[in-house]
Amino acid sequence: MLQETTNRRLCLAGMGAAVLVLAGCGGGDSTAPVMSADSSGVSTISASALAATLATYPVVAPLSADEVASLLQMREEEQLAHDVYAVSATLYPTLPIFANIASAEATHSAAVKTLLDRYSIADPLAGLPSGTFKTSAFQILYDALVASSRVSLIAALQVGLQIEEMDIRDLESAKASPNIDNADILMVYDNLERASRNHLRAFWKVLQAQGGTYTPQYLTQTAFDAIINSPIETGR
């Protein structure tokens, strides 16, 4: 069974890659990257580029239970990032990083919503106002992170690092699962993870400028240092 799953992952990845290569051989403009980053690391996912790229991948259904659960989790997790940063943007309006990354996170949450729609999965956030989540664990976490962010600017920047760490950890875990193997999902997760690493770098740079310190909560110190000491990444 494990070998079958592995073969399926390799096959789907190969199909997606092959179509992308063929699409790039037509002599026209190359496909725009799904994720783009500015000089500060703020990383936005383009809805049009995502749609164009997803069109080159097969829709392989039904999804595994783990794939469905992962998409539902990442939809709320990316929205949590947006909603927390949006609060910090109102608390500390002179520092643009919160508003800028909040806008980027809205595109991340929308990218996961695109996958939910692609596979006819009900959106867990449908009809819910900002700062409200279907999953109680996310609601509790959101309330705690907002409370921490209200303490000070330094604390809000540290919350930003914590959220991006959490995203990286959860995306890495999902991508490593043998039961999450649809190539389109993995492609979106790859771009989300690159964006989260960029946002980690962005928050760290501003925190340093403000004289703050931070101890990783979800990543090892070695993994954290490797990210913040490496360049901003571009999308694919």
- At 95-124, the pLDDT tens digits run 999 999 999 999 999 999 999 999 999 999
With residue 35 as reference, give the H or E element that holds it: strand 35-37
> pTM for the full model?
0.87
User: Could you say which DSSP state residue 133 is in?
Assistant: -
* Domains of the chain, CATH where assigned: 2-228 (1.20.1260.10)
Could you list the pLDDT tens digit for every one of the 236 residues in the chain? 333 343 344 334 333 333 333 333 333 334 799 999 999 999 999 999 999 999 999 999 999 999 999 999 999 999 999 999 999 999 999 999 999 999 999 999 999 999 999 999 999 999 999 999 999 999 999 999 999 999 999 999 999 999 999 999 999 999 999 999 999 999 999 999 999 999 999 999 999 999 999 999 999 999 999 999 999 998 77
Amino acid at site 205: K
User: What pLDDT, on a 0 to 100 scale, did the predictor assign at position 2?
Assistant: 36
Report how far residue 4's alpha carbon sits from residue 185's, in angstroms, rounded to the nearest whole number: 18
CB within 8 Å of 144: residues ≥ 6 apart: none
* Residues ≥6 apart with Cβ < 8 Å to 115: 71, 121, 184, 185, 188
The pLDDT of residue 19 is: 35
What is the spatial distance between Cα 83 and Cα 51, in angstroms, rounded to a whole number? Answer: 24
What residue type is 149 in one-letter code? S
Q: 211's torsion region: left (phi>0), alpha (psi -120 to 50) or beta?
A: left
> Would you give the distance in Å from CA 221 to the centre of its chain?
21
* Distance, CA of 99 to CA of 79 (rounded, Å): 14
Strand partners, 37: 43
